[in-house]
């Protein structure tokens, strides 16, 4: 077939594929997945080739203007994945493409970092040198240094070593004595780090059994089901990933490892870089803190085939690796795998689909499986692998539940650190062991109330109270970022009766410093970690034993491994439990188990204190007894009774507008149309104000749908919305398999 025409997807949501003629000059290079620049209306637009055709029935075909990059940016399989995502997640394929290709690759603006290299030019005669010495001694000096060069040298280095300037160098270039050339160099975010190479550890018998099953699947991946590796914290899951990847590499395959953004710590990256240290470029790292330039370079490292392992956050699932042998999703239960803007995909579920398309093995690992995944394992869709023991047979930490109702009665006021936790901290300080205190809420006081009129300071844009931050000395909204000065008197009734109530990590830190003045206390949350390397630095200090007590939010709950931490205090376990969300119990169970997993990872067994007002809630009791299956069974019963996932898929439609009445009216109209469009097998909820009624100045209404045939439901919803144009100031968005129900 002769490649005459290319069918392309323009980078704009026009929901149509267009045909363009392929100029002779790059007919050889163009293929499915190539990026091109095409004329579109009266401008140029970037686009992706989705098919190459011999003939086209379209009229008025124009030629492609340019080819971007030598090699297709996407494989045919990734394009197929994009089509699946558009159908499943009820969005346009152009929207999917935005996530599939990093912006820096799509826009093709940031290129390689260019640096100036110096090499020797023509030889200078003795006469010329003599003349230079007299008239331009600095040029002569530089020329002498250049004469010593055997290979091109970075101009910047040469000038620094000789203490000479750029002008001198340019003068030499003019005379032809040096050649200057710009060359691309790669930005390596880990260039200044040294990795001590590690080798495979000898596995214990549970690990060996699990790895054997994975290797068998790697040998015959076409028939393999995804694995769910359920291993308690510290059971050696990562070691299994490392060895499975080694197997894949040895067999000419590549691998992707997804890690939640928050646990993509230097510690994690280091473990992968060190194990695969045989080539500098072997491991590429993708996460949201890379500069555009770094992202560009990492991406090309992957696309060119030099990097054969990609470790990254959510969007790394789209890494353009060829010959994919294994996809690992660590902490598969993490909700951060779900993208909260369109395309609203879940990276774990996309991983399973990509695995199927590529014919590779998918390995989901976690200490606290999501209900969905464990359900899939019990139904035989996934293959379950268990690690029940910690490596070195360390004991699981002892979890003690502290009833805050009693503490409150005793103390006659709100308790931050109860008596029992207090005593336990003192014991740790005496033994020079470390403590982690966890609270899932930032700030100092969670609200500022007027005791005269009862009014709380609310965000003008959102229906939540403003949080008081003492360091910044401002009130701030955690949803939209709005900040306000702290009023002296109540702005509503003008009484001097303002009181602070509730507390966040900032207050816990202050309180702990007050209780234990000799202890070194540090806080780790989004407020205290604004500087780029603050996170790394704090972790390093903590590991070196320079911090006694670390106070923090979920930032410290995940994946960290500190042998000297023998005590974990959960200041208030109820924060997640009372959210109007069917996953509230699941999240609490996971959080408690994960946070508890931070304790006693060394020789000394750990101790965990869980402070709560609801000591008998099932998620707390099951977590306390490390009883995942018990928890799973009772939670599953509840989900089945209510027709919630994993029994039915959910689709959440949100209608929002700055105008409350219009949002409500549109939601009601959509609901009416959906009632006509959806067959009885689907459950359609009434339009209701969202639990978070107002967000960023927009009033929000929800319509919740549920059903088993999710792709069909997605299509029906899309069709209904397409036929119903929204007023300009109303936006309807669709979330398939939603995690954010507020
Ligand atoms: P998980 O990922 O399940 O939390 P890790 O893989 O991080 O567990 O293992 C915890 C610690 O135990 C790590 O320091 C790791 O190097 C070590 N480890 C893992 N497997 C073994 C083994 N078979 N023998 C000795 N040490 C091991
Ligand atoms: Zn707000």
Q: Which residues contact 460 (CB under 8 A, 6 or more apart)?
A: 482, 697
* 5-107: CATH topology: GIY-YIG endonuclease (3.40.1440)
Write down the mean pLDDT value for the chain: 90
* 205-392: CATH topology: Rossmann fold (3.40.50)
Q: Which helix (H) or strand (E) holds 543?
A: helix 534-543
- Please give the angle made by the CA atoms of 663, 671 and 638, to the nearest 5 degrees: 105
DSSP tag of 554: G
Q: Which helix (H) or strand (E) holds 53?
A: strand 43-53
Which runs of E-coded beta strand occur in 587-716?
A: 607-612, 649-657, 683-684, 688-695, 698-707
Please tell me the distance from the alpha carbon of residue 698 to that of residue 101, in angstroms, as a whole number: 30
pLDDT tens figures, 630-665: 999 999 999 999 999 999 999 999 999 999 999 999
Answer whether 235 contacts ligand 1 (Cβ < 6 A): yes
Please tell me the distance from the alpha carbon of residue 617 to that of residue 37, in angstroms, as a whole number: 59
Residue 383 Cα distances to 126, 230, 240, 255, angstroms:
78, 10, 16, 20
Q: Which residues contact 391 (CB under 8 A, 6 or more apart)?
A: 204, 234, 235, 236, 239
Q: Which helix (H) or strand (E) holds 565?
A: strand 565-570
Question: Which ligand is closest in space to the CA of residue 466?
Answer: 2
Write down the pLDDT at residue 259.
95
Q: Do domains 205-392 and 398-444+503-638 have the same CATH topology?
A: yes
Between 184 and 134, residue with greater pLDDT: 134
Torsion (CA) 29, 30, 36, 38 in degrees, nearest 10: 110
Q: Which residues contact 184 (CB under 8 A, 6 or more apart)?
A: 111, 112, 113, 114
Given a contact cutoff of 8 angstroms between Cβ atoms, the answer to whether 705 and 720 are in contact is: no
End-to-end CA distance of the chain: 53
pLDDT tens figures, 26-35: 888 899 999 9
pLDDT tens figures, 321-375: 999 999 999 999 999 999 999 999 999 999 999 999 999 999 999 999 999 999 9
Cα of 392 to ligand 1 centre, how many Å? 9
> What are 168's two structure tokens?
């001198």
Does the 649-736 domain belong in CATH 3.30.70.600? Answer: yes
Answer whether 237 contacts ligand 1 (Cβ < 6 A): yes
The closest alpha carbon to 304, from 66, 30, 77, 71, belongs to 71
Cα of 360 to ligand 2 centre, how many Å? 44
Question: Which ligand is closest in space to the CA of residue 475?
Answer: 2
- Please give the angle made by the CA atoms of 595, 599 and 600, to the nearest 5 degrees: 155
Given a contact cutoff of 8 angstroms between Cβ atoms, the answer to whether 734 and 716 are in contact is: no
Nearest-Å Rg of the Cα atoms of the chain is 30
DSSP tag of 618: H
Given a contact cutoff of 8 angstroms between Cβ atoms, the answer to whether 651 and 661 are in contact is: no
Neighbours of 116 (CB within 10 A): 17
Write down the pLDDT at residue 650.
95
Answer whether 203 contacts ligand 1 (Cβ < 6 A): yes
Write down the pLDDT at residue 533.
79
Write down the pLDDT at residue 568.
92
Given a contact cutoff of 8 angstroms between Cβ atoms, the answer to whether 240 and 271 are in contact is: no
Please tell me the distance from the alpha carbon of residue 465 to that of residue 720, in angstroms, as a whole number: 37
pLDDT tens figures, 59-115: 889 999 988 887 888 999 999 999 999 999 999 999 999 899 988 887 765 555 667
> What are 359's two structure tokens?
């014919």
* C-alpha dihedral sign at 374, 264, 588, 641: negative
Please tell me the distance from the alpha carbon of residue 446 to that of residue 676, in angstroms, as a whole number: 45
- Residue 261's DSSP bridge partners are none
Given a contact cutoff of 8 angstroms between Cβ atoms, the answer to whether 354 and 220 are in contact is: no
Cα of 461 to ligand 2 centre, how many Å? 5
- Indicate which residue's Cα is closest to atom 20 of ligand 1: 236
| Atom of ligand 1 minimally distant from the CA of 330 | 2
Q: What percent of the chain has pLDDT over 70?
A: 96
> What are 698's two structure tokens?
């927009």
- Indicate which residue's Cα is closest to atom 17 of ligand 1: 236
Please tell me the distance from the alpha carbon of residue 309 to that of residue 296, in angstroms, as a whole number: 16
**Helices vs strands, H then E, count in the chain:** 22, 31
| Atom of ligand 1 minimally distant from the CA of 207 | 23
Cα of 316 to ligand 1 centre, how many Å? 24
- Indicate which residue's Cα is closest to atom 23 of ligand 1: 203
Given a contact cutoff of 8 angstroms between Cβ atoms, the answer to whether 416 and 507 are in contact is: yes
Render 132-193 in DSSP notation, one character per residue.
Answer: HHHH-HHHHHHHHHHHT-SS-EEHHHHHHHHT--HHHHHHHHHTTSEEEEEEEE---TTTT-
Please tell me the distance from the alpha carbon of residue 541 to that of residue 548, in angstroms, as a whole number: 10
Please tell me the distance from the alpha carbon of residue 184 to that of residue 42, in angstroms, as a whole number: 34
Write down the pLDDT at residue 72.
87
- pLDDT band at 527, cuts 50/70/90? confident
Answer whether 271 contacts ligand 1 (Cβ < 6 A): no
* C-alpha dihedral sign at 100, 103, 107, 108: negative
pLDDT tens figures, 551-599: 998 777 665 678 888 999 999 988 877 777 889 899 999 988 888 777 7
- pLDDT band at 237, cuts 50/70/90? very high
Write down the pLDDT at residue 560.
67
> What are 147's two structure tokens?
């004469």
* 398-444+503-638: CATH topology: Rossmann fold (3.40.50)
Residue 689 has pLDDT above 90, yes or no: yes
Q: Which residues contact 325 (CB under 8 A, 6 or more apart)?
A: 218, 221, 248, 251, 253, 254, 255, 360, 361
Segments making up each domain of the chain, as ranges: 5-107, 113-185, 205-392, 398-444+503-638, 649-736
Please tell me the distance from the alpha carbon of residue 263 to that of residue 271, in angstroms, as a whole number: 13
Please tell me the distance from the alpha carbon of residue 435 to that of residue 550, in angstroms, as a whole number: 6
Write down the pLDDT at residue 111.
55
Write down the pLDDT at residue 258.
97
Write a three-state SS string for 197-266.
CCCCCCCCHHHHHHHHHHHHHHHCHHHCCCEEEEECCCCCHHHHHHHHHHHHHHCCCEEEEECCHHHCCH
Write down the pLDDT at residue 711.
95
Cα of 171 to ligand 1 centre, how many Å? 59
């Amino acid at each position: 077939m002769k490649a005459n025409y290319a069918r392309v997807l323009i980078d704009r949501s026009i929901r149509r594929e267009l045909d363009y003629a392929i100029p002779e000059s790059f007919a050889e290079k163009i293929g499915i997945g190539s990026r091109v620049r095409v004329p579109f209306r009266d401008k140029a637009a970037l686009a992706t080739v989705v098919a190459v055709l011999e003939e086209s029935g379209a009229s008025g075909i124009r030629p492609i203007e340019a080819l971007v990059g030598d090699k297709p940016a996407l494989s045919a399989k990734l394009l197929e994945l994009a089509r699946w995502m558009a159908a499943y997640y009820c969005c346009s394929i152009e929207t999917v493409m935005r996530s599939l290709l990093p912006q820096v690759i799509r826009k093709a603006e940031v290129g390689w970092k260019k640096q100036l290299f110096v090499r020797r030019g023509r030889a200078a005669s003795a006469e010329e040198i003599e003349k230079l010495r007299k008239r331009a001694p600095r040029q002569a000096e530089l020329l002498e240094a250049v004469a010593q060069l055997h290979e091109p040298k970075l101009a910047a280095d040469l000038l620094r070593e000789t203490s000479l300037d750029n002008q001198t160098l340019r003068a030499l270039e003019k005379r032809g004595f040096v050649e200057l050339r710009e060359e691309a160099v790669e930005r390596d975010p880990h260039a200044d780090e040294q990795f001590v190479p590690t080798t495979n550890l000898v596995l214990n018998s549970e690990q060996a059994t699990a790895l054997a099953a994975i290797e068998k699947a790697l040998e015959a991946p076409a028939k393999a089901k995804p694995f769910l590796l359920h291993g308690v914290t510290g059971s050696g899951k990562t070691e299994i990933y490392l060895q499975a990847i080694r197997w894949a590499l040895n067999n000419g395959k590549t691998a992707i490892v997804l890690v939640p953004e928050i646990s993509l710590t230097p510690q994690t990256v280091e473990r992968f870089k060190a194990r695969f240290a045989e080539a500098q470029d072997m491991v590429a790292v993708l996460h949201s803190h890379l500069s555009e330039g770094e992202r560009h370079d990492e991406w090309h490292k992957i696309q060119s085939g030099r990097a054969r392992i990609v470790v990254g956050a959510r969007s790394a699932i789209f890494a353009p690796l060829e010959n994919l042998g294994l996809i690992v999703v660590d902490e598969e239960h993490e909700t951060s795998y779900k993208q909260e803007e369109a395309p609203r995909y879940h990276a774990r579920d996309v991983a399973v689909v990509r695995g199927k398309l590529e014919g590779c093995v998918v390995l989901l690992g976690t200490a606290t499986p999501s209900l969905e995944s464990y359900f899939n394992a019990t139904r035989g869709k996934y293959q379950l692998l268990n690690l029940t023991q910690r490596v070195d047979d360390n004991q699981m930490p002892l979890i003690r539940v502290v009833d805050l109702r009693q503490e409150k009665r005793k103390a006659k006021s709100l308790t931050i650190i109860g008596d029992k936790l207090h005593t336990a901290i003192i014991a740790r300080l005496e033994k020079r062991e470390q403590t982690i205190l966890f609270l899932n809420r930032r700030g100092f006081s969670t609200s500022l109330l007027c005791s005269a009129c009862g009014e709380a300071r609310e965000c003008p844009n959102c229906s939540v109270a403003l949080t008081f931050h003492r360091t910044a000395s401002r009130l701030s909204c955690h949803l939209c970022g709005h900040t306000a000065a702290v009023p002296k008197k109540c702005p509503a009734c003008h009484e001097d009766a303002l009181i602070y109530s509730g507390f966040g990590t900032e207050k816990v830190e202050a309180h702990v410093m007050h209780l234990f003045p000799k202890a070194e206390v540090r806080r780790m949350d989004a407020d205290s970690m604004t500087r780029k390397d603050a996170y790394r630095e704090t972790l390093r200090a903590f590991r070196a034993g320079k911090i006694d007590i670390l106070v923090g939010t979920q930032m410290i709950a995940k994946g960290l491994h500190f042998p000297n931490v023998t005590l974990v205090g959960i200041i208030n376990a109820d924060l997640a439990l009372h959210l109007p969300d069917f996953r509230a119990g699941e999240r609490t169970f996971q959080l408690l188990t994960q946070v508890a997993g931070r304790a006693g990872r060394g020789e000394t067994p750990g101790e965990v204190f869980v402070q709560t007002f609801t000591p008998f809630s099932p998620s707390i009791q099951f977590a306390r007894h490390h009883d995942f299956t018990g928890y799973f069974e009772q939670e599953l019963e509840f989900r089945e009774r209510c027709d919630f996932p994993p029994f039915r898929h959910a689709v959440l439609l949100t209608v929002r507008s700055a105008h409350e009445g219009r949002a409500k009216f549109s939601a009601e109209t959509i609901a009416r149309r959906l009632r006509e469009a959806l067959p009885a097998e689907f459950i359609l909820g009434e339009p209701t104000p969202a639990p978070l009624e107002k967000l960023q100045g927009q009033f929000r209404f929800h319509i919740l749908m549920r059903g088993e045939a999710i792709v069909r439901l997605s299509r029906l919803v899309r069709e209904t919305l397409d036929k119903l144009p929204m007023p300009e100031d109303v936006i309807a968005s669709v979330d398939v398999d939603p995690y954010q129900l507020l």
